[in-house]
Amino acid sequence: MRRLVLFAAVLALPLSIAVGAQAPVELKVGDMAPDFSLSASDGKTYKLADFRGKKAVVVAWFPKASTRGCTIECKSLAENGHLLKNYEMTYFMASVDPLEDNINFAKATSVKLGDTVVEKKEADFPILSDPSKQVATSYGVLSARGVANRWTFYIGKDGKILAIDKAVKPETSAQDMAAKLKELGVPTM
């Protein structure tokens, strides 16, 4: 009996590995960006396909609403959006948080972080919500902790990835995004 149980366990191991473990997606510059249809903090649903052939898209993934780095990144984008609005593109922040959390985060003018309160403007851009984590997985941003990595994807009008920033600095997110758009040659309006 003991041998039978051991034999069954040995047979089941490769199956459990094959079923449970998927290789993480690793997108590269030049790849087609995975399409998405996600609800946003402004009450709309955005589809990447709707922008194809019209304008570039920037998706700034962040780990968790109302946390230190994410609040600072949102603050940078809200307070310095004028640096981005002249480009022929649309930009989003995105997380795997429930939509209600992202709505509250977008509307917040102050966020309590421990003993500190960070004052910020309301987000004047949509924050996308991916609670199923399917889109985050397709972009390869889902971390082992179950939240998105802080990575920004620059997607061209043709739907191809122009750049991926895996070293986002929350404090200068808007300035860095504007510099990258200029470097990539994204047209201005």
Known catalytic residue at 70:
yes
CA 117, 118, 121, 127 dihedral sign is negative
**Whole-Å CA distances, 182 to 54, 79, 83:** 18, 19, 11
C-alpha distance from residue 175 to each of 57, 82, 104, 169 (Å)? 16, 10, 25, 10
The H or E element that residue 18 is part of is helix 2-20
Q: Indicate the pTM of the whole model.
A: 0.84
Rounded to whole angstroms, the Cα distance separating 153 from 31 reads 11
Q: Where are the alpha helices (DSSP H) in 35-187?
A: 68-79, 99-107, 134-139, 173-184
- Active-site entry in 70, 72, 74, 141: 70
pLDDT of residue 2: 53
When pLDDT is cut at 50, 70 and 90, the band that residue 189 belongs to is confident
pLDDT digits (tens, 9 = 90+) for 23-59: 678 999 999 999 999 999 999 999 999 999 999 999 9
CA angle 147/27/31 to nearest 5° reads: 140
Query: With contact defined as beta carbons under 8 Å apart, do 63 and 70 qualify?
Result: yes
| 59-80: pLDDT as tens digits | 999 999 877 778 788 888 888 9
The residue that leads in pLDDT, 108 or 97, is 97
Residue 4 has pLDDT above 60, yes or no: no
Q: What are 136-165's pLDDT values in tens digits? A: 999 999 999 999 999 999 999 999 999 999
pLDDT score of 10: 46
User: Rounded mean pLDDT of the chain?
Assistant: 87
Domain residue extents for the chain: 25-184
CATH topology of domain 25-184: Glutaredoxin (3.40.30)
- CA separation for the pair 31, 161 (Å, rounded): 6
